[in-house]
Homo-oligomer: A and B are copies of this chain.
Amino acid sequence: MYTSPRAKLVNVSTIGNPVLDEEAVRRIVRSEIEHADAKDPGTASAALIASKGTLDWAYPPLILATTAASLGMEASIFFTFYGLNIVHKDYDRLLKVSPLGNPAMPMPVPMPNLVLGLPGMGPIATKMMQSKFRRKNVTTIRELLDLARDLDVGLIACQMTMDAFGYKADDFIQGVRFGGAAAFLAKARKAHLTLFI
């Protein structure tokens, strides 16, 4: 006769003296806690805030969120302040790089700030970064946004900043939802991985 492991346990319990003392219970509890920790809900989600609106700073939230999602985490990005640029329909035109005031930006030749401030230098810096990234096969913003939507990364535009900057729901790319900081934080407080970018 087939007896399932569970039935067997119960049988043993009934026959013998299955009585568990405190020590045995504590042992069971510890194994259950260990198991529960391994699937700690906090480790299963990532909540990122994207607040900057330049080409270079559009990369980190998109790369980190898609990487988290590809690791099986539930990832979402809250686009606020200048970060709204990243999910604006015109992101390709809005996301620029400014070399001014950013001495960490690698330039082909050192240029004094006054030259960088000349009209036309901003577009040159943007083009330079775009081509540097293209040569190295770094994915484009368009590809990352597509990937994010494929991986079900939550893309949430901050309602308050939209109002302050005069944007309408219609100004944003497909798949973007709209919400406030409170709704976002209510979710983010349960995530271990919370980053303000």
A residues near B (Cβ < 8 Å) are 6, 9-10, 12-14, 17-26, 28-30, 32-33, 36-37, 40-44, 46, 49, 51-54, 56, 59-60, 63-64, 67-68, 70-71, 73, 80-82, 85, 94-106, 112-114, 116-122, 132-133, 136, 138, 160, 163-166, 181-182, 185-186, 188-197
Contacts and interface: CB of A to CB of B under 8 A. Distances in A.
A23 B51 contact: no
Contacts of A181: 63-64, 67
Nearest to A138: B164
B121 A104 contact: no
Contact of A17 (B14, B97, B104): B14
B24 A26 contact: no
A9 to B, nearest CB: 5
Contact of A82 (B32, B105, B164, B191): B105
A5 to B, nearest CB: 9
A127 to B, nearest CB: 13
A104 to B, nearest CB: 3
Contacts of A60: 49, 51, 80-81, 196
Contact of A192 (B42, B116, B122): B42
A82 B102 CA distance: 10
B33 A9 contact: no
A23 B9 contact: yes
Contacts of A36: 30, 33, 37
